Structure 1
Amino acid sequence: MALTGLIRASFALLCSSTLANGQTTSTSADSIATSPPSSTIASINTVTIGGTPTTFRNVFTMPASTDEGADLLPNVEDPEAVNAQDACPGYKASQVHEDEHGVTAILTLAGESCNVYGNDVSVLNLTVEYQAANRLAINIIPANLDSSNYSHYIVPEELIPRPQPDSTYGDIDLEFDWDNEPSFWFSVTRHSTGDVIFTTENSKLVFEDQFIEFVTSLPEDYNLSGLGERIHGLRLNNNLTATIYAADVGDPIDRNIYGSHPFYLDTRYFETDSSGKRSLYKRGNGGTSGGSSYESYAHGVYLRNTHGQEVLLRSESLTWRTLGGSIDLFFFDGPTQPEVTKQYQLSAIGLPKMEAYWGFGYHQCRWGYRNWTELREIVDTFKAFDIPLETIWLDIDYMDQYRDFTTDPVTFPLSEAKAFFDQLHGDGQHFVPIVDSAIYIPNPTNGSDAYDTYARGNESGAFLKNPDGSQYIGAVWPGYTVFPDWLSTGGQPWWVQEMVAWHKEVPFDGIWIDMSEVSSFCVGSCGSGNVTLNPVHPPFSLPGEIGNVIYDYPEAFNVTNATEAASASSASSSQAASASTSSASTSTVYLRTTPTPGVRNVNHPPYVINNVQGDLAVHAVSPNATHENGVEEYDVHNIWGHQILNATYQGLVSVFPGKRPFIIGRSTFAGSGKWAGHWGGDNASKWYYMYFSIPQALSFSLFGIPMFGVDTCGFNGNTDYELCSRWMQLSAFFPFYRNHNTLSANSQEPFRWASVASAAKIAMHIRYSLLPYLYTLFHNAHTTGSTVMRALAWEFPGDPQLAGVDTQFLLGPSLLITPVLAPQVNTVNGVFPGIADGEVWYDWYTQARVDAQAGVNTTIDAPLGHIPVYIRGGSVLPTQEPGYTTTESRKNPWGLLVALSEDGEASGELYVDDGESLEPTDTLYIVFSARDSQLKADVNGTYKDTNALGNVTILGVDSVGDVKLNGESVGEAKVDHDDSTGVLKLSGLNDLTSAGAWSESWTLSWN
Structure 2
Amino acid sequence: MGIPRTWGGVLGGLSAFCAIAQAQTSTPSPTSSASAQFTVPAEANFAPAVIPNIKDPQAVDAQTVCPGYTASNVQQTSSGFTASLALAGNSCNVYGTDIDALSLTVEYQREDRLHVSIVPTHIGAENATHYIIPPGYLAEAEVEESNVVSGLEFSWTNDPSFGFEVTRKSTKDVLFSTKGTKLVFENQFVEFKSSLPENYNLYGLGESIHGFKLGNNYTKTFYAADAGATVDINVYGAHPFYLETRYFTEGADGKLTLVTSDETSPNSNYTSLSHGVFSRNAHGQDILMQEDSITYRALGGSIDLYFFPGPSQPEVTKSYLTTVGLPAMQQYWTFGFHQCRWGYKSWAELEDVVNNYTHFEIPMETIWTDIDWMLRYRDFENDPEGFDDESSKGFIQRLHDSGRHYVPIIDSAIYIPNPEDLEDAYPVFERGNEAGAFLTNPDGSIYVGAVWPGYTVFPDWLAEGTEQWWIDEMVRYHQTTGYDGAWIDMSEISSFCVGSCGSNNLTLQPVHVPFALPGEPGNPVLIYPEGFNKTNATEAAFASSARASWSSAYPTTSATSSASYVRTTPTPGVRDVNYPPYAINNVKGPLAVAAISPNATHADGTLEYDMHNLWGHGILKATYNALSAISPDARPFILGRSTFAGSGSYAAHWGGDNWSNWPSMIFSIPQALSMSLLGIPMFGADTCGFADNTDMELCNRWMQLSAFFPFYRNHNIIGAISQEAYRWSSVIDASKTAMAIRYQLLPYMYTLFYHAHTKAETVMRALAWEFPHDPSLANADRQFMLGPSIMVIPVLEQGATSVNGVFPGLIEGEEVWYDWYNNTAIPVPSQANTTIPAPLGHIPVYARGGSVLPLQQAALTTRDARNSPWDILVALAKDGSATGKLYLDDGVSVTPDATLHAEFKVENRKLETIIEHGGWVEENSLRNVTIWGVEKTKSPIKFNGKVVSAKNVHFNGDKHTLVVSLSSASAWTGKGWSLEW
Q: TM-score range by the shorter chain?
A: over 0.9
Distance 1:735 1:107 in 2: 47
1:557 aligned residue: 532
TM superposition shift of 1:658: 0.5
Q: Which residue does 2:186 correspond to in 1?
A: 208
Structure 1 counterpart of 2:905: 929
- Label 1:875 to 1:71 Cα distance change in 2 as closer, same or farther (>3 A): same
- Spell out the pairing of 1:604-623 with structure 2 (5 A cutoff): 604-623=579-598
**Residue 63 of structure 1 is aligned with which of 35, 41, 63?**
41
Change over 3 Å in CA distance of 1:46–1:352 after alignment to 2: closer
- Does structure 1 residue 907 correspond to structure 2 residue 907? no
SS state at 2:399 partner: helix
Cα deviation code 1:150-205 (max 9, x no counterpart): 98331133112342431585321111111101111100000101100000111100
Kindly provide the CA deviation profile for residues 447-466 of structure 1, in whole angstroms up to 9, marking residues without a partner as x. 11111111110111111011
Q: Is it true that 1:178 corresponds to 2:178 in the alignment?
A: no
Aligned to 1:965: 943
Distance in 2 (CA, whole Å) between partners of 1:131 and 1:744 is 54
2:775 maps to which residue?
800
Classify the secondary structure of the residue corresponding to 1:342: helix
Task: Report the AA paired with residue 701 of structure 2.
Answer: R
Q: 1:267 and 2:248 equivalent? A: no
Q: 1:15-66 CA deviation, whole Å, 9 max, x = no partner?
A: 999xxxxxxxxx997799547579x6899x997xxxxxxxxx7311111111
What SS does structure 1 have at the residue aligned with 2:283?
coil
Shift of 1:413: 1.1
2:955 is the alignment partner of 1:980? no
Pick from 528, 546, 553 the counterpart of residue 521 of structure 2.
546
Determine if the alignment matches structure 1 residue 830 to structure 2 residue 805: yes
Contact 1:66 1:526 in 2 (8 A): yes
Q: CA deviation at 1:70?
A: 2.5
* 1:621-652 Cα distance to aligned partner (Å, 9 max, x none): 11111111111110011010001000000000
Task: Give the aligned partner of residue 564 of structure 2.
Answer: 589
Equivalent residue, structure 2, for 1:491: 466
* 1:332 aligned partner: 308
Tell me the SS of whatever aligns to 1:724: helix
Quote the residue 2:206 is aligned against.
228
Task: Give the 3 Å change call, closer, same or farther, for CA 30–387 of structure 1 in structure 2.
Answer: same
**Aligned to 1:393, what secondary structure does the other structure show?**
strand
2:691 counterpart SS class: coil
CA shift at 1:854, angstroms?
7.7
The CA deviation string for residues 358-395 of structure 1, in whole angstroms up to 9 with x for no partner, is 00000000000011111111110000000011000000
Take 1:16 and 1:822, find their aligned partners in 2: how far apart are those partners?
Answer: 29
Q: Within 5 Å, which residues of 2 pair with 1:435-834?
A: 435-560=410-535, 588-834=563-809
Deviates most, 582-591 or 949-958: 582-591
Q: CA RMSD in A?
A: 2.5
Alignment CA distance shift 1:968-1:679 (3 Å): same
Instruction: Give the match's secondary structure for 2:480.
Output: coil
Question: Which residue in 1 is equivalent to 2:132?
Answer: 154
Structure 2 partner of 1:948 = 925
Give TM-score scaled by structure 1 length: 0.93
- The answer to whether the 8 Å contact 1:72/1:615 transfers is yes
1:53 — aligned with what?
none
Does 972-981 or 197-206 show the bigger shift? 972-981
Counterpart amino acid of 2:378?
Answer: R
Give me the TM-score of the superposition, normalised by structure 2.
Answer: 0.95
Cα distance in 1 for partners of 2:834, 2:150 equals 43
Structure 1 residue 551, shift from structure 2 partner: 3.6
Cα pair distance change 1:609/1:445, threshold 3 Å = same
Alignment partner of 2:284 out of 296, 308, 312: 308
Flag the 1:563–1:761 CA change in 2: closer, same or farther, 3 A: closer
Segment of structure 1 superposing worse, 191-200 or 410-419: 410-419
Matches of 1:260 and 1:131 in 2, distance apart?
25
The total of aligned residue pairs comes to: 967
Q: Deviations over 1:521-555 (max 9, x none)?
A: 10000010111111111111112221214341332
CA gap of 1:33–1:593, structure 2 versus 1, over 3 A, is closer
| Inter-partner Cα distance in structure 1 for 2:116 and 2:955 | 60
Alignment partners' CA distance in 1, 2:387 and 2:105:
58
Report if aligned partners of 1:251, 1:681 keep a CA contact under 8 Å in 2: yes
Give 1:426's aligned residue: 401
Q: What's 1:1003 paired with?
A: 977
Q: Which moved more, 1:189-198 or 1:556-565?
A: 556-565
8 Å Cα contact 1:69/1:617 also seen in 2: no
CA distance 1:867–1:641, shift in 2 (3 Å) = same
- CA distance, structure 2, for counterparts of residue 459 and residue 689 of structure 1: 44
1:980 deviates by 1.1
Provide the rounded CA distance (Å) in 2 between the counterparts of 1:945 and 1:392. 29
The alignment status of 1:250 with 2:228, answered yes or no, reads: yes
State the secondary structure of the residue aligned to 1:859. Answer: strand
Residue 170 and residue 419 in structure 1: after superposition, are their counterparts in 2 closer, same or farther (change >3 A)?
closer
Contact 1:71 1:588 in 2 (8 A): no
Choose the corresponding residue for 1:193, options 148, 158, 171.
Answer: 171
Structure 2: how far apart are the matches of 1:969 and 1:308? 68
Q: Which amino acid aligns with 1:242?
A: K
Distance 1:850 1:42, change over 3 A: closer
Measure the CA separation in 2 of the matches of 1:76 and 1:482. Answer: 34
**Structure-1 separation of matches of 2:168 and 2:20:** 60
Whether 1:406 aligns to 2:384 is no
State the Cα deviation string for residues 589-632 of structure 1 (Å, max 9, x = none). 11011111121111111100000111101110111111111111
8 Å contact from structure 1 (residues 148, 598) kept in 2: no
Question: 1:838: how far off?
Answer: 1.4
Letter in 1 for 2:480: E
Does the CA-based 8 Å contact 1:151-1:598 persist in structure 2? no
C-alpha change, 1:206 and 1:854, in structure 2 (3 Å) is farther
Which residue pairs with 1:6 in the alignment? none
The 2-side partners of 1:369 and 1:479 are apart by 21
Query: What's 1:7 paired with?
Result: none
Is the 8 Å Cα contact of residues 960 and 1006 (structure 1) preserved in structure 2? Answer: no
* 2:197/2:292 contact within 8 Å kept: yes
Q: Is the 8 A contact 2:17 2:499 kept in 1?
A: no
1:1005: Cα distance to partner? 3.0
Bigger mean CA offset, 737-746 vs 591-600: 591-600
Query: Counterpart amino acid of 2:959?
Result: T
Deviation at 1:223, TM superposition (A): 0.4
Matches within 5 A, 1:267-306: 267-273=245-251, 278-289=256-267, 292-306=268-282
Residue 878 of structure 1: aligned partner? 854
Q: Which runs of 5+ in 1 are unaligned?
A: 1-13, 18-26, 48-56
Following the alignment from structure 2 to structure 1, what is the Cα–Cα distance between the partners of residues 438 and 125? 30
Contact 2:624/2:650 (CA < 8 Å) preserved in 1? yes
Distance (Å, rounded) in 2 between the aligned partners of 1:746 and 1:834: 44
Conserved in 1, the CA contact under 8 Å of 2:18 and 2:499?
Answer: no
Q: Does structure 2 conserve the Cα–Cα contact (< 8 Å) formed by 1:15 and 1:541?
A: no
Give how far 1:278 is off: 3.2
Aligned-partner Cα distance in 2 for 1:641–1:669: 7
Residues 385, 241 of structure 1: alpha-carbon distance in 2 compared, 3 angstrom cutoff: same
- Contact kept? 1:229, 1:257, Cα under 8 Å: yes
Q: Aligned residue for 1:143?
A: 121
Cα distance, 1:1002 vs structure 2: 3.5
Alignment counterpart, residue 393 of structure 1, candidates 368, 376, 380: 368
> Alpha-carbon deviation of 1:579?
7.9
Whole-Å separation in 1 of the counterparts to 2:109 and 2:557: 64
Identity of aligned residues (%): 55
